[in-house]
Amino acid sequence: MSLDGKIALVTGGSRGIGRAIALRLAEMGAKVAINYVSNPDAAQEVVGAIAAMGGEGRHYKFDVADTSAVNDSIAKIIEDYGRLDILVNNAGITRDGLLMKMKEENWDQVLDTNLKGAFNCIKAVTRPMMKQRWGRIVNISSVIGFLGNAGQANYAAAKAGLTGLTRSIARELASRSITVNGVAPGYIDTDMTRDLAEEVRAKVLGEIPMRSMGSAEDVAGAVAYLVSEDARYITGQFIHVNGGMFMG
């Protein structure tokens, strides 16, 4: 599954799942643009890790919820590399709380980053990909977008919205050899889940048929497949990486 000569952008690529995706695409031969918002050291570490394996990466600071910043930054990436072939919409945030107590700003922040952010990036890459008649777009959703979760109405709504966005844009772009798919991780062993209280972690594991959390590399493997030529005839689909927690 070679990506030699391809240029990829991974939003939220400085840590966790985004970092694993960036490294996997670089291993496959892609040159990778790493988006971040607040941690330049982490972004530079990913660029260094890519360089250490003989690849090429650069980091770009912009907020995916900021339409102008997205447009300017993606134009800069295309200027730097001459093209953009792969977009992975991974950037996301949480602002958890029960709906009756949820602040409007917490609703708006999550929807703006997790759903509008994907819209902004897809819209910015659509014309360049259509002109080159090739592209791969992968949206990172969540099992929560399919199951729902108490205390995460904003996050679940944003991730569920990605399902409709993915399938609609897949229909719009299919004739130009641009595929649009999604990956929906379950509980993945990251910094966020490692901070869970022991009783919460035990409850989560009890809901997973495989009785273990996944790794960021498990998610990266699904993304790697979807952006490769092996998946050229797959569009509008979701791969669920959740150990059997949701089967749909």
Q: Which of 36, 60, 81, 155 is catalytic?
A: 155
Q: What is the DSSP code (8-state) at residue 230? A: G
Candidates 149, 140, 131; CA nearest to 219 is 140
Candidates 22, 24, 27; CA nearest to 43 is 22
What does the alpha-carbon distance between residue 159 and residue 109 come to, in Å, rounded to a whole number?
A: 13
Tokens of 217: 């590399």
Candidates 164, 205, 16, 189; CA nearest to 92 is 16
What does the alpha-carbon distance between residue 60 and residue 48 come to, in Å, rounded to a whole number?
A: 14
Determine whether 155 is an active site residue: yes
Candidates 86, 90, 91, 74; CA nearest to 31 is 86
**Which residues belong to the active site?**
155
